[in-house]
Amino acid sequence: MHHSTDTQGDSAAAATRRDLAVRAAVDQGLVTEDDQPVVALLDVRSVRETAAAVRDAFTEVAAPGQNVLHTFAVKAASLVPVLRLLADEGIGCEVASPGELALARAAGVPADRTVLDSPAKTGAELREALALGIALNADNPQELARLDALVTPGAAPASPVGLRVNPQIGEGAIGAMSTATATSKFGVALRDPGARDWVVEAYRERPWLTRLHSHIGSQGIPLELMAEGARATYDLAEEINAATGRRQIDTLDLGGGLPVNFSSDEFTPTHRDYARLLARTVPGLFDGRYGIVTEFGRSLTAKAGTVLARVEYAKSAGGRPIAVTHAGAQIAVRTVFTPDAWPLRVAAYDAKGMPKRGDTVAQDVAGPCCFAGDLVARDRPLPRLEAGDHAALLDTGAYYFSNPFGYNSLPRPGVYGFTVADDEEVSFTAVREPQSLDDIVAESGGAQRDALRSAN
């Protein structure tokens, strides 16, 4: 893990804001005993500070006037107000589905600040992207053949178009998050027999291919491996441009995001750590000849988020205390099913939303889902949680807010952005209203109640 003197925002100040927000959420009724036992809170200042840190980190290493576009991987927080907030901070959108593109457009993100990277684009998606002027990266030879049929011969498309390659340089600590393995489903596998030559020829035959894209992974991927992926992408771009006799590739899209430190409030590694490592490893990236696109996701919003859940019951089994809360697999699906890869910190607060003090007791923190493995923390030392207290899942501002698991038809919690004034007054703004039971019935076919009764 890299460390830096750049704290990317004051982690102690962020922790203080979190404590104030938790108390205010209880005081203002965002989390209640009956109808709202769980809520998601997003620190607006933290998001803004992190976006500024990304911009500053790359400005430091880029050549004067070099075109650097930072995009946010929409899958990490697919909430329109979050995308709008990031857009205000100069961050565009990386989208991987028609739904994510619709969200980016609803947020007002311009086409020239949007990149489409889905590995399974339909013909309709390709036509829409080309019509809108949205940059896209083809994933494979068959997709490139589809584009051949859509691009007018001899004319450059309105959209910048690239090809995604997989440099096959290995995996990180979490296999499911590693996208540059020998058998990854993404991109053209460069080390497969004949693949590199095919890629060079594909560019030679298509002057309208002007970008090159790779994505090494995110959580569990060391920065050194990410930098090696960037080096492989840069080297291939140089080879292609030499083969075509001109600077055909003008932009390198460096996908993947920074891993997030889930073990403390410290923001490490920082975006400055990464930018400086890129500059040392691949100096040519920042000499001004290439535009650069980044696709950070969880590192922009994870540490800004807190899921706050009321403890409904406190019990014990086999001598181990268990706090039964309202935040489980329906919110923290990765943590519940792969806890070793996605551990979350849990903070204990009392019934009034004040941090709990006192001796710690090893205990389980369970969710509301009706299966035994619905635990967000196992044997975790915490001040003993009692009924009416609150458990906070920290660093949950990416994925946890907007990627729900529909188990037991549990309603999605409300998401609220918060700001803290100098006098410590906390203001909340609704990002997504809590899902109602009527909403659940409607999306579960309630209007078609009798549809199957007359089916033959």
Phi-psi category of 368—alpha, beta or left, where left has phi over 0 and alpha has psi -120 to 50?
alpha
pLDDT band at 148 (very low <50, low <70, confident <90, very high): very high
Per-residue pLDDT of 403-445, as tens digits, reads: 999 999 999 999 999 999 999 999 999 999 999 999 999 999 9
Per-residue pLDDT of 307-352, as tens digits, reads: 999 999 999 999 999 999 999 999 999 999 999 888 999 999 999 9
> Looking at the predicted structure, is the pLDDT value of residue 293 above 50?
yes
Side-chain-side CA neighbours of 25 within 13 Å: the count stands at 39
Indicate the residue type of 276.
Answer: R
Beta bridge partners of residue 209, listed in sequence order = 161
Contact 269, 258 (CB under 8 A): yes
Rounded to the nearest angstrom, the gap between the alpha carbon of residue 451 and the centroid of all alpha carbons in its chain is 38
Supply the DSSP string of 374-428, one letter for each residue: -EEEEEEEEEPP-TT-EEEEES-TTTTTT----GGGPPPPEEEEEEE-TT--EEE
Contact 230, 282 (CB under 8 A): yes
What does pTM read for this prediction?
Answer: 0.93
Could you tell me the CA-to-CA distances from 187 to 42, 120, 197 in Å, in that order? Answer: 34, 11, 15
Task: Compute the mean pLDDT over every residue in the chain, rounded to the nearest whole number.
Answer: 92
- Mean pLDDT in residue range 4-12: 63
79 Cβ contact list (under 8 Å, min separation 6)? 103, 401, 402, 415, 431, 432
| Residue 132 burial (C-beta neighbours within 10 Å; 0-12, 13-18, 19+) | middle
